[in-house]
Amino acid sequence: MKPEPNASQQVGAGYKYVSLGITFAGGIVLFMGVGYWLDRRFGLTPFGTLTGTLLGAFLSFMVVYRRLQLDAQQDRARRDARKTP
């Protein structure tokens, strides 16, 4: 029978996914802010903000996606290591 994970392990796993959400939101906000600054500096009003937001969303998604893929790959390797004697 497999031992139950303790509360600290469960909280640690939860924080990993919370940090991914913060990474995603932070990337969008950061690039939107840069786009807004470029709009104010060069008078391109909606274009910099929109471009920054879309670029931030795309890049943040790619970072989160790659981290989740790596996590899944490591989990599969851990499970395979437990199966082989």
The token pair at 39 is 């709009």
How confident is the model at residue 2, as a pLDDT? 58
Is residue 11 scored above 80 in pLDDT?
Answer: no
Residue at 81 is within a domain = no
Give the pLDDT band (50/70/90) at residue 84. Answer: confident
Q: Identify the burial level of 9 via C-beta atoms within 10 angstroms of its C-beta, where 0-12 means exposed, 13-18 middle and 19 or more buried.
A: exposed
Counted domains in the chain: 1
| 43 φ/ψ sector (left φ>0, alpha ψ -120 to 50, else beta) | left
Average pLDDT of the residues of the chain: 89
Is residue 77 scored above 90 in pLDDT?
Answer: yes
Buried b (16+ CB within 10 A) or exposed e, 45-63: eeebbebbbebbbeebeee
Quick: pLDDT tens for 45-75: 889 999 999 999 999 999 999 999 999 999 9
The predicted model scores a pTM of 0.79
Residue at 37 is within a domain = yes
Residue at 38 is within a domain = yes
Residue span of the structural domain in which 38 resides: 22-74
Residue at 8 is within a domain = no
CA pair distance 69, 74, nearest whole angstrom: 9
